[in-house]
Amino acid sequence: MNEPLLVAIDPGGTTGLAMYSRESGFRATQGTPYEIIEWVGANIGIGAVGLIICESFTIGQGTLKKSREGSNTAIETIGVIRWLAHCAGIQFRLQSPAEAKGFSTNDKLRAAGWYDGVPEHARDAARHLLLACVRDGLIPAESVIPANERGMMGVGKGESVGVG
């Protein structure tokens, strides 16, 4: 049987989707919320998904001023994906935008080979995926630390690399 995919989703009007397994590597795309929800539902049904990571969404004053429709779309997408995961018995994890962007910088995405040619919303999903892969030990943190940051973070000396 194939190793299950880790799937990360950046919900919104354009929804990002990023996937990783050691066996099949990294893939990413983006589409409408309905297209991404359909993909998740179909792949959960065949046992291809092992963990779903989704960007959390909090409505604040700034959000209300921007777009209620976009806010509703993000919240509804998260709810549907959470429900699909629940029904399939698959772990569902929320991560804040700040967590993902704080760890998964553009340089780290480049070091992982997950930046070039990846559309914006898919790249945001990739940020969540990279953080989860490093946290869960699927990808060694050392492998995504850009060359210009090595030595500054104590990698290999048991020190933290910003993943907690």
Reported as a single tens digit per residue, the pLDDT across 74-133 is: 999 999 999 999 999 999 999 999 999 999 999 999 999 999 999 999 999 999 999 999
Structural domains of the chain sorted by starting position, each given as residue range(s) with its CATH number in brackets: 5-149 (3.30.420.10)
Phi, psi dihedral angles at 56 (to 5 degrees): -75, 160
Indicate whether 64 pLDDT > 90. Answer: no
* Beta-sheet strands, E only, within 32-77: 49-55
The pTM of the full predicted model, rounded to 2 decimals, is: 0.84
Indicate whether 30 pLDDT > 70. Answer: yes
Average pLDDT (7-31) is 95
Q: What is the pLDDT of residue 56?
A: 94
Q: What is the pLDDT of residue 39?
A: 95
Q: What is the pLDDT of residue 57?
A: 87
Cα–Cα distance for residue pair 107/37, rounded to 1 Å? 29
